Chain A
Amino acid sequence: MGDNIYNEVLIDHNLHPMHLHDLSCATCSNDGLNPTCGDSLSLHLNIENGVIKDGSFTGVGCAISQASTDIMLDLIIGRSTEDALHLKELFSKMINGDISQEEIDELEEAGALQNISKMPARVKCALLGWDTLEKLLKEEGAK
């Protein structure tokens, strides 16, 4: 256990995150906090007509939370908010260890985090960005 979660995809996104920066064109932002380890991040999105045009995150965290959030942004930028919420649902299913191969394929690179389902202590790290996304989109949808 342990080592196999730090695969190349995860290491690469942690060391070279594409989306770790401020977003001047952001239309909305939300903060996520993992109280057990103190990791916190802010998610920034530019949403126009129900489509996520651009996105970024800021903050500090472990390799798993940083890489997971970066991969998530790769996946959702250019998609509708509905698609993004659907992917969040799939990702949660995967982390809970209850997902089909087709559904994993839909998650593309995020499938690299599948083994986290075997590390209960790190589930919250993998979900931090995704939970923040869900909270943000639901709040935006309610407006």
Chain B
Amino acid sequence: MIILNNNPYKADFPVFRHYPDLVYLDNAATTQKPIQVMRSVEKYYSEENANPLRGLYELSIKATDAYENAREAVRKFIGAKSTKEIIFTRNATESLNLIAYSFGKAFIREGDEILVGVSEHHSNLLPWQNLARETGSVLKFLECDRQGAYSPEDLKAALTPNTRLFAIAQVSNVFGRFNPIREFAEICHRNGTRIVCDGAQSVPHAPVDVEDLDVDFLAFSGHKLYAPMGIGVLYGREELLEQMPPFLSGGEMIAYVTRENATYADLPHKFEAGTVNAGGAAGLRAAIGYIESIGFENIVQREKELTALAFHEMKRIEHVSIIGSENSEDHNGIITFTVDGVHPHDIAAVFDADGIAVRAGHHCAQPLHQHIGVQSTARMSLAFYNEEKDIERFIDTLKTVRRRMGYGG
């Protein structure tokens, strides 16, 4: 057991100096930002800013370097073979939309099937709904059990010769549970099916290696990874990206343009139309450096211990039900719950009154809530900078929710 109070990393996050009493437990929505990331963005705009990738002068070369060095840092971070496979986007949602549009144009035809996990975030569902509607392909769902687990046998049974693609999160933003992506990828590939992995909730909290997982695509957001908002990543297998048409078109993604036609730039710039978010990329590189300086071993251990502490205390509170696995090991920093008789928005308001930030609603996963038969839920989600006393305050408030909403006892 490591010491969970007097967390040495909390001091890196200026937000906690501004709000010393804030208990921030909405990290699955977005994380707070360390000073190291903020400084790197300031450094970029103070010392390196010009329009990257096209300037013919020194400052623009510095901007290009800042941007491309960030791409290399991401490549290394997720174990991709080449920087050609790393596309910068705004966030995971844009990455997933890019795949749906562009992979869809190249590979999805009428009568094809797209398989999606029922627990998916709307950002890994709506692009596929739209693609199915536009192409006349068929959207099918893989169901999970009440613990949030998907079975490889169900996946095998759901795949048909027409299944072109399977879209699934590595970690559900509601259950917090890791899906066996490597096993799923193997099953999909044996069937000639491509696998899209939403890494928004996994990449910030565990080492993720795309070669080891053998996924065809991986999407994640910078802002859930301690980086600024507005920078995200799409990893795609080079041979697939080569065959896919551009998503957006315009400047910085062309090789040669005539009045009627254009030749597109090579990967990865083919998919990065317009002036890019180089400042955000610099921030993302700093965030990766920050995570690496702490080390995933340390991060995972802290988050697991804090999760276990919260989980076991929550289990002991009457009228509180945890959604998903009965085992705290499966929750990975995300605990979604309900309180009997109290609407989740009222739960969140009671927490807010005590200075504790939690999420309430359907967490952008309405089909999942329909599947498990609850209208909406509350969710606490933590990060390595949280402390034992954050969990204690969370539990203290949770114990008072029903009384404060007018229930006796």
A interface, CB within 8 angstroms of B: 1-6, 11-12, 14-15, 36-39, 60-64, 66, 119, 122, 125
Contacts and interface: CB of A to CB of B under 8 A. Distances in A.
A14 B405 contact: yes
B361 A36 contact: yes
A15 B342 CA distance: 10
A63 B343 contact: yes
A11 B349 contact: no
B349 A5 contact: yes
Listed residue (B366, B404, B406, B407) with the most chain A CB atoms within 10 angstroms of its CB: B406
B375 interface: yes
A49 to B, nearest CB: 37
B100 interface: no
B405 to A, nearest CB: 6
Nearest to B353: A2
A11 B345 contact: no
A38 B405 contact: no
B376 interface: yes
Listed residue (B343, B344, B361) with the most chain A CB atoms within 10 angstroms of its CB: B343
B329 interface: no
B346 interface: yes
A34 to B, nearest CB: 10
Nearest to B345: A62
B352 interface: yes
A62 B346 CA distance: 6
14 contacts: A2-B352, A6-B349, A6-B350, A11-B405, A12-B406, A36-B361, A37-B376, A39-B343, A60-B343, A61-B343, A62-B346, A63-B346, A63-B405, A66-B343
B346 A1 contact: no
Contact of B350 (A3, A38, A60, A122): A3
Contact of B406 (A3, A4, A11): A11
A88 B266 CA distance: 59
B362 interface: yes
Contacts of A66: 343
Given A6-B350, A62-B344, 11 more contacts: A1-B353, A2-B352, A3-B404, A11-B405, A12-B406, A14-B406, A37-B360, A38-B366, A38-B375, A62-B343, A62-B346
Interface residues of B, number: 22
Given A11-B405, A14-B405, A14-B406, A1 B352 contact: yes
Contacts of A12: 406
Contacts of B344: 62
A122 B350 CA distance: 13
B75 to A, nearest CB: 38
B375 A64 contact: no
A53 to B, nearest CB: 30
Contacts of A4: 353
A96 B319 CA distance: 35
Listed residue (A12, A36, A62) with the most chain B CB atoms within 10 angstroms of its CB: A62
A37 B353 contact: no
Contacts of A119: 349
Interface in B322-360: 342-346, 349-354, 360
A122 B345 contact: yes
Given A14-B405, A38-B361, A63-B405, A2 B345 contact: no
Contacts of B369: 38
A125 B354 CA distance: 21
Contacts of A122: 345, 349
B349 A60 contact: no
A14 B366 CA distance: 25
Interface in B351-409: 351-354, 360-362, 366, 369, 375-376, 404-407
A60 B354 CA distance: 26
Contacts of B349: 2-3, 5-6, 119, 122
A125 B376 contact: no
Given A1-B352, A1-B353, A3-B353, A37 B405 contact: no
Contacts of A14: 405-406
Contacts of B342: 63
A1 B356 CA distance: 12
A6 B404 contact: yes
A143 B61 CA distance: 68
Contacts of B407: 15
Listed residue (A2, A11, A39) with the most chain B CB atoms within 10 angstroms of its CB: A2
Nearest to A5: B349
A38 B362 contact: yes
